[in-house]
């Protein structure tokens, strides 16, 4: 085959693959987890719904305390202004991690409900 034909096939395959990954990523359904069961999901992505009990802004990151029915820390590394009022109901998607012996969620997405 000619080099031009191989190049076209490679470009089409790359574009189709990237589009497939994009659609797959946007259609992943995360399991909704209650905070007391977070230990079962260490290192995995989860979704929780809860109420904001406190928020501390440390510049490049925000730490939220979220309750449902227990309380956990949620860490969000921010690249723009972020504000969620006390008492707001939020939906959080992120990875369960352990820091200083305590479980927390490192959020990839936070939405106010």
**3-state SS, one letter per residue, for 40-92:** HHCCCEEEEEEEEEEEEECCCEEEEEEECCCEEEEEEECCCCCCCCCCCEEEE
CA dist 65 and 53 (Å) reads: 5
CA dist 4 and 10 (Å) reads: 10
CATH topology of domain 35-112: OB fold (Dihydrolipoamide Acetyltransferase, E2P) (2.40.50)
pTM (2 decimals)? 0.73
Give 95's pLDDT tier (boundaries 50, 70, 90): very high
CA dist 16 and 10 (Å) reads: 10
Give 81's pLDDT tier (boundaries 50, 70, 90): confident
Q: What's the pLDDT at 83? A: 82
Q: What's the pLDDT at 71? A: 92
Quick: pLDDT tens for 59-76. Answer: 889 999 999 889 999 999
CA dist 15 and 90 (Å) reads: 35
Q: What's the pLDDT at 52? A: 95
Instruction: Assess contact for 105 and 48: CB atoms under 8 A.
Output: yes
Query: Is pLDDT of 1 > 70?
Result: no
Query: Is pLDDT of 9 > 70?
Result: yes
Break the chain into its structural domains and give their ranges.
1-30, 35-112
């Amino acid at each position: 085959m000619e080099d031009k034909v191989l190049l076209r096939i490679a470009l089409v395959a790359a574009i189709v693959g990237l589009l497939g990954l994009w659609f797959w990523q946007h259609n992943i359904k995360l399991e909704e987890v209650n905070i007391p069961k977070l230990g079962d999901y260490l290192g995995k992505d989860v979704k929780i719904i809860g109420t904001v009990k406190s928020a501390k802004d440390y510049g490049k990151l925000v730490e939220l305390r979220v309750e449902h029915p227990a309380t956990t820390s949620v860490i969000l590394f921010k690249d723009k202004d972020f504000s969620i009022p006390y008492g707001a109901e939020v939906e959080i998607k992120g990875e369960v991690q352990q820091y200083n012996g305590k479980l927390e969620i490192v959020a990839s997405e936070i939405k106010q409900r």
